[in-house]
């Protein structure tokens, strides 16, 4: 049997502290898998520099020069984790049989790769890396992150619980995925839509080796909102149902007040009027905001701007 060519795709943004440490972990893992006769010697580690402002790209170029198993590409500017990962996957898909995407901070246990490759050899096209526990995350990160997955599934998005962007995807799936042209990228929600046989492997998530998380609460909320609005129209449905409910209640309220007026029981009613006005204007503002969010998405999609622009590569674009 022909051994599969594996590309480990790693987005990096301002990671000069961790890269020198973790790059060795990745190349060691390649050697180990190659030694075990599971992957082809043509396998590579592909670093994507997402417009870093520090020495990340110099480090990547240096790695590529010293070790033929390392290669790098650099985006023309910072485009965010999801776009950076996409660019690496799209570059890799023509050159390999399988990709594994992983963050470069050493938080995800790279030993789970062995099991991922085994699952691929058993016939799975997509293998999700799922965190079995979040012991090392702070209480705040853990609760917000788990709340995020619960909210996503409540909103009707098909996401794998506690799976981030550590996963094995075959080039066959990626070639199909290339037809998903949306600008609103939420890879962990989109890959399941491609289909094919998939499974999950479980691992413990460690603490970042160095540097700081690029996902503070503001960015996590933005990602959650992007995820929900790019995968589901349930928020619009909820608004509509709520509108129907509020209208019904108001209708009863109107009848009640008319009856009261006829019976001569009219009261000053200032407080109730003000509260109703406040309540309804609040609801209306939220609703307009959510609808506006979707219109904003449509606006971004119709422009169909490129999701990333590659500035430099350490390798030739013709296959090796």
Q: Which residues bind Mg ion (CB under 5 A)?
A: 103, 105, 107
Verify binding: residue 213, ligand UDP, rule CB under 6 A.
yes
- Closest distance between ligand UDP and the C-beta of residue 141, in Å? 8
- Closest distance between ligand UDP and the C-beta of residue 236, in Å? 29
- Closest distance between ligand UDP and the C-beta of residue 309, in Å? 15
**Buried/exposed code over 221-256 (b: 16+ C-beta within 10 A; e: otherwise):** eebbebbbbbbbeebeeebeeeeeeeeeeeeeeeee
Verify binding: residue 214, ligand UDP, rule CB under 6 A.
yes
Residue 318: helix, strand or coil by DSSP? coil
Of 118 and 146, which CB lies nearer to Mg ion in the complex structure? 146
Q: Record the tokens describing residue 246, joined without a space.
A: 């509020």
- Closest distance between ligand UDP and the C-beta of residue 299, in Å? 22
Of 34 and 54, which CB lies nearer to ligand UDP in the complex structure? 54
Of 2 and 218, which CB lies nearer to ligand UDP in the complex structure? 218
Q: Record the tokens describing residue 18, joined without a space.
A: 């961790």
Q: Strand 70-75 and strand 6-12: pairing?
A: unpaired
Q: Which of 148, 202, 215, 294 binds ligand UDP (CB under 6 A)?
A: 215
Residue in the block written with tokens 């600008």: 183
Of 50 and 103, which CB lies nearer to Mg ion in the complex structure? 103
Q: Contact region for ligand UDP (CB under 6 A) — 97-105, 120-128, 222-230, 281-289? A: 97-105
Residue 168's alpha-carbon distances to 6, 11, 22, 24, 171, in angstroms, are 9, 15, 19, 20, 10
* Count of residues making up the chain: 320
| Residue 55 DSSP label | S
Report the Cα 119 to chain-centroid distance in Å: 22
Q: Strand 126-133 and strand 70-75: pairing?
A: unpaired
Q: Which of 97, 103, 119, 125 binds ligand UDP (CB under 6 A)?
A: 103
Distance CA 147, CA 141 (A): 10
Verify binding: residue 13, ligand UDP, rule CB under 6 A.
yes
Q: Record the tokens describing residue 313, joined without a space.
A: 């590569």
Verify binding: residue 50, ligand UDP, rule CB under 6 A.
yes
- Closest distance between ligand UDP and the C-beta of residue 8, in Å? 12
Residue 249: helix, strand or coil by DSSP? helix
Q: Which residues bind ligand UDP (CB under 6 A)?
A: 11-13, 15, 50, 78, 80-81, 84, 103-105, 107, 213-215
């Amino acid at each position: 049997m022909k051994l599969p060519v594996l590309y480990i795709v790693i987005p990096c943004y301002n990671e000069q502290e961790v890269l020198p440490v973790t790059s060795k972990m990745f190349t060691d893992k390649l050697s180990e898998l190659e030694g075990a006769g599971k992957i082809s010697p043509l396998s590579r580690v592909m670093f994507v520099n997402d417009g870093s402002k520090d020495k990340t790209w110099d480090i990547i170029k240096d790695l590529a020069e010293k070790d033929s198993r390392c290669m790098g590409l650099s985006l023309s500017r910072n485009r965010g984790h999801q776009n950076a990962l996409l660019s690496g996957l799209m570059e890799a898909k023509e050159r390999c049989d399988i990709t594994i995407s992983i963050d470069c901070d050493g938080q995800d246990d790279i030993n789970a790769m062995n099991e991922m490759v085994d699952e691929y050899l058993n016939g799975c096209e997509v293998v999700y890396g799922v965190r079995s526990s979040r012991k090392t995350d702070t209480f705040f990160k853990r609760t917000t992150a788990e709340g995020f997955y619960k909210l996503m599934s409540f909103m009707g998005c098909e996401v794998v619980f506690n799976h981030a962007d550590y996963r094995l995807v075959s080039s066959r799936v990626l070639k199909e995925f290339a037809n998903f042209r949306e600008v609103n990228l939420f890879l962990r929600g989109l890959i399941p839509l491609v289909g094919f046989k998939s499974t999950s492997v479980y691992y413990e998530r460690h603490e970042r080796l160095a540097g700081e998380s690029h996902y503070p609460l503001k960015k996590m909320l933005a990602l959650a909102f992007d995820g929900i609005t790019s995968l589901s129209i349930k928020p619009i449905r909820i608004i509509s149902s709520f509108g129907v409910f509020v209208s019904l209640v108001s209708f009863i309220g109107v009848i009640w007040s008319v009856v009261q007026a006829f019976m001569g029981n009219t009261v000053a009613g200032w407080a109730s009027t003000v509260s109703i006005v406040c309540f309804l204007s609040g609801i209306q503002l939220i609703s307009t905001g959510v609808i506006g969010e979707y219109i904003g998405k449509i606006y971004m999609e119709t422009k169909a701007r490129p999701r990333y622009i590659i500035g430099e590569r350490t390798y030739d674009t013709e296959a090796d």
